Amino acid sequence: TPATTPDPHNIQGDIIVGIPKKTQTYFFFQIDGDPSLFRKALVDIVPLIKTAAQVQKDREALREHKRRHGHGGDGPGPLLKMTGTQIAFSNAGLVKMGISGVATPSSSDPKSDPFVKGQFRDAQNIGDAGTGDADNFKPAWDPAFGNANIDGVIFVGGDSHHSVNEKMEEIKRILGPSVKEVISIIGDTRPKNESGHEHFGFLDGISNPTIEGLDKNPLPGPKPIAAKHLITGQTSDANTPPVIIDGSFLAFRYLFQLVPEFNEFLKSNPIKGKNLSDEEGSELLGARMVGRWKSGAPIDLTPNKDDPNLGNDSQRNHRNNNFFYTNELTVTMGDQTHCPFSAHTRKTNPRADFTEHGRGGDILDSHRIARRGIQFGPEVTQEEANNKRTIHGRGLLFVCYQSDILNGFQFVQKSWANNPDFLDLALDNKGNKLSPGLDSIIGQNAESGRDVVGTDPADPDGKITIPRFIVPRGGEYFFSPSITALRDIIAL
């Protein structure tokens, strides 16, 4: 029966809680031969899939372990031995198995439904570089993703390569010849103090939506959102296909980051200011591109210098996500002295910029996404740092969940990050409307290049062109079914 409240015992745990992980292996596969072989093997895979309730327990056990031993969790130090397995299917995979009823809810036409088309055919829409015209576009992707033949992904996160490999072996034994590997990708959190920081050096994974009715003690910050924005099938409509109840869409992106090049760009373009050394000016430029300092401290709260106590402070005083870009509005509307409208966090979640100006909170909530990615690739080597050039591939295995890809990932990337006119609140020195430019980090747009406005607090209309430091090399849209859908509908 349809439900308006998601069941934590039915939802895959990564969606609303997040599998604890120091490392995670993604096994992208094609269903091989007779799909019923795969569907039969699935019977023995389903018990391995961790639910939100189980992952919540794992997180509590980690907290307890950390309390007793002073380390653990996602941070530095050994983890408790644990793994979490999840599974999701592309539209191609569902079609192969004869499963119908899964589509982007807000899409009226399967031809323009990003899930039905697959990400390969959506790549031009989201600004990826490539060749060919609209009907024939081919993104410049790794061949594994560039052939659009991925039916599903199984991923295992855990405390160590050893635990994850062991679990992956077990899974592959069960699946046997019913699947063919397309590509396996290993993600690893960064070492020691960089743990939790993405490869440019900024603390990540701070701001994710909390859910009404599920998160009992949400930290101060943006209000919890209705479950229907992240979980599919949350409706009392009796015609809801059972397969979508308690599921979610997973957008995966294989994003390479050019770290030495990024560092060199900051170094050669320090923001100039009375009391700023060049080094501080470079650091400030990075912070104004992201919207947070490397420590995680939001620049809306501390615009002039990093404040590591604030950056780390999700737990003690719960302040590092409690801001709304309203500090400047009290000065003058459209001002961006604290945070540019082009900063990555402000573009991808404009908070009160949006809700305070006649746009309903529910509309903003429909564009929230739950991010669960992990880093991949090695640390920058001395040779790369010296030459200011990337030799070894590294970046982010970006994963986000939402109940609707058109409103979630695709909207955030296409209509916000890649759209130079968003958000239309910015004003120039003379009080005229100003285009903020692209998202400084992820914005990409074949038409306008990467022009970004407002990085210099003293020059709100100052425009700079930022080279591309993020290179998308693949991706796919998946559907992450509930345990009951996996067991009773998809498995045979």
Catalytic residue among 122, 204, 300, 306: 204
Least distance in Å: CB of 103 to ligand HEM? 21
- Does residue 79 bind ligand HEM (CB under 6 A)? no
List the one residue from 50, 167, 229, 253 that touches ligand HEM (CB under 6 A).
253
Binding mask 409-428 for ligand HEM (x = CB under 6 A): x--xx---x-----------
Nearest-angstrom CA–CA distance, 30 and 22: 27
Backbone angles phi, psi at 353, to 5 degrees: -50, -35
Q: Are the C-beta atoms of 51 and 188 separated by less than 8 Å?
A: no
List the one residue from 42, 55, 442, 464 that touches ligand HEM (CB under 6 A).
442
- Does residue 396 bind ligand HEM (CB under 6 A)? yes
88: exposed, middle or buried (Cβ count in 10 Å: 0-12, 13-18, 19+): buried
Least distance in Å: CB of 281 to ligand HEM? 20
143: exposed, middle or buried (Cβ count in 10 Å: 0-12, 13-18, 19+): exposed
Cβ neighbours of residue 405 closer than 8 Å, sequence gap 6 or more: 104, 114, 115, 249, 251, 477
- Does residue 394 bind ligand HEM (CB under 6 A)? no
Least distance in Å: CB of 175 to ligand HEM? 30
First and final C-alpha spacing in the chain: 21
Query: Mapping DSSP to helix (H, G, I), strand (E, B) and coil, where does residue 2 land?
Result: coil
Toward ligand HEM, which CB reaches closer, 65 or 199?
Answer: 199
Toward ligand HEM, which CB reaches closer, 345 or 355?
Answer: 345
- Does residue 114 bind ligand HEM (CB under 6 A)? no
Closest C-alpha among 376, 455, 435, 21 to residue 185: 376
Toward ligand HEM, which CB reaches closer, 35 or 454?
Answer: 454
- Does residue 257 bind ligand HEM (CB under 6 A)? yes
Toward ligand HEM, which CB reaches closer, 441 or 464?
Answer: 441
List the one residue from 115, 262, 341, 398 that touches ligand HEM (CB under 6 A).
398
- Does residue 207 bind ligand HEM (CB under 6 A)? yes
Cβ neighbours of residue 68 closer than 8 Å, sequence gap 6 or more: none
Instruction: Please provide the DSSP assignment of 21-89 as one string.
Output: -SEEEEEEEEE-S-HHHHHHHHHHHGGGBPBHHHHHHHHHHHHHHHHHHS--TTSSSPPPS-EEEEEEE
Contacts (CB under 6 A) with ligand HEM, residues 324-353 = 344-345, 348-349
Kindly state the tokens that stand for 465: 């062109």
Closest C-alpha among 158, 174, 180, 169 to residue 84: 158
User: Which of the ranges 158-166, 200-208, 237-245, 305-313 carries the binding residues for ligand HEM, by CB under 6 A?
Assistant: 200-208
Answer yes or no: 459 catalytic: no
Q: Which residues pair with 255 in a beta bridge?
A: 396, 472
Residues lying near ligand HEM in the complex (CB under 6 A) are found at 198, 200, 202, 204-207, 253, 255, 257, 290, 292, 344-345, 348-349, 369, 371, 395-396, 398, 409, 412-413, 417, 441-442, 470
Active site residues: 204
